[in-house]
Chains A and B, each alone.
Chain A
């Protein structure tokens, strides 16, 4: 196996100036921090730039840093098939968390973003079909948030759950499909 050329972050940082921060290379993944409003442009640049070629989106995930502020984070893991580089984009989000969707850049982002919405309530603006993916329709709350009890909330079906109710704020209301069982455009 020939030694791979490491990723040079200078052109990326030069292109976006102060707005993108270099978090350095750790365990083989180069990390960057980007603000939410820049995320689509940043991703598109990383994908379309011929010398970088980050054409493969490995993963998108949400993180909850409760009780820190800003509380949430969306983390993107990208891979370049041509150069065999991995990078991570970290995007800190306030509460309620909202970030533009990158489905227009990679179609695979569709389900990853639905998962992050389902588990953390991160709203991906411009997502074509932002429904819950794992939990059932009508489920209240976002189960992977740090303030959501591990055993859920007590109700008729869950006698071992914690007392209380998930916070119901209008901005956190679940986003259900307009009609049940209506098929959605296949991406």
Chain B
């Protein structure tokens, strides 16, 4: 800004009230990706905000129309890249509903365990990134340390740190390795204390509290009207969690609390996520305790590769099915399904229209971050430009998911 402001305007002259347009992003560290905000500023106050998105648009929905159902799993990884197992799960559930099948119980436990690990991974990033956006760098470094443990666990299970593509229609790709169990138990033991560490890092940090408490308040009715979901909605006092209210997989066998806060400000959204991490650890422990033995993949050779590979080598029928499945994929009965799960960011829904072929006729992703970003329009008491950063960070959008 090179403009010089006259401090004492001449007598009788109208003060210069010209508004300034400020372009925040798309390359800006606090936008968590490539988000561009066009802000109309009145001094230091934000008069209007106009988010421009689409910089990461990869046409996931259009692409999926030319992919077989199994090929779409890697595309879903790339939606919310902090928690691919959740995205895989949401898509697998939608296809399974169309097919009228269910994964074996052990597979369901594995998937839920993976989804909760993904939730930890996603929440850990924002737990550290929000204080970092507001100037407290330390929290991020500690959060990343624990996130690294989760990455190692994911790598141990799937061979990949980020884009796991671990789910399959009718189960998961392979069973959990034996060396995973001692590692995850160790993780569950130390992690709750680490969560306490993050809280202690910021709960007495007056700068962080001043910049988040009472800032960016979203009233519950506004939150519902704007379609917010997940921790953003629960921080406004709306008690809704798809895991509890429309239980999928084996969530109805698990005991967990739905975390809500009444304040609806940036701090409440941050707290919600921190407390949800504690619940996720409890869920993981219950999954480990309850997980039965059994198959990790449904026994339907037309949909899933046989677990016992020797069948393919010895039986003509199995060989043909294996070839058919690898070369053409499987057909899904014509119909429509909308299936939503509680992803770390909120309601992640897949709306699939099948025309009876191996590829979806139409796949729509109800991406929670896309909708949550509209929360920018419902915030109260976020007047200053600097508050914008706090609000944006606390809404926790992942731009890859916003842009699909």
Contacts and interface: CB of A to CB of B under 8 A. Distances in A.
Interface in A34-67: 55-59, 61, 63-64
Contact of A58 (B227, B335, B337, B403): B227
Interface stretch (B8-16, B51-59, B276-284): B51-59
A18 B245 CA distance: 33
A183 interface: yes
B340 interface: yes
A27 B227 contact: no
Which DSSP category, helix, strand, loop or mixed, fits chain A's interface?
loop
Contacts of A185: 48
Contacts of A31: 336
Contacts of B353: 63
Interface stretch (B25-33, B144-152, B291-299, B368-376): B368-376
Nearest to A183: B50
Contact of A1 (B247, B347, B371): B247
A81 B227 contact: no
Contacts of A184: 48, 50
B338 A107 contact: no
Interface stretch (A92-100, A133-141, A158-166): A133-141
A86 to B, nearest CB: 7
A44 B63 CA distance: 34
A10 interface: no
Interface residues of A, number: 42
B66 A150 contact: yes
Interface in B353-404: 353, 362, 364, 366, 370-371, 373-374, 376-378, 403-404
B225 A106 contact: yes
Nearest to A177: B50
B62 A150 contact: yes
Nearest to A181: B38
B320 interface: no
B346 to A, nearest CB: 10
A26 B403 CA distance: 29
B4 to A, nearest CB: 24
A88 interface: yes
B50 A186 contact: yes
A185 B376 CA distance: 12
B66 A58 contact: no
Contact of A183 (B48, B364, B377): B48
B188 interface: no
Given A26-B335, A81-B224, A187-B374, A58 B349 contact: yes
B226 interface: yes
Given A26-B337, A81-B224, A107 B245 contact: no
Interface string A154-187: 0000000000000000000000000001011111
B21 interface: yes
B226 A108 contact: yes
B77 to A, nearest CB: 20
A108 to B, nearest CB: 3
A186 B48 contact: yes
A71 interface: no
B54 A77 contact: no
A57 B227 contact: yes
B62 A134 contact: no
Contacts of B238: 81
Contacts of B336: 26-27, 31, 88
Given A88-B338, A134-B53, A186-B377, A59 B48 contact: no
Contacts of B197: none
A12 interface: no
B102 interface: no
Interface string A74-108: 01010001001010100000000000000000111
For B98, B247, B349, the residue with the greatest tally of chain A CB atoms inside 10 Å of its CB is B349
Interface of A: 1, 26-29, 31, 55-59, 61, 63-64, 75, 77, 81, 84, 86, 88, 106-108, 110-112, 115, 119, 132-136, 143-144, 150, 181, 183-187
Closest 5 CB pairs of A and B: A108-B227, A134-B54, A183-B50, A61-B364, A187-B377
Interface of B: 21, 23, 38-40, 48-50, 53-54, 57, 59, 61-63, 66, 97-98, 224-227, 238, 240, 244-247, 252, 335-340, 347, 349, 351, 353, 362, 364, 366, 370-371, 373-374, 376-378, 403-404
11 contacts: A27-B97, A27-B336, A29-B337, A57-B227, A59-B366, A61-B364, A64-B362, A108-B225, A134-B404, A183-B49, A186-B48
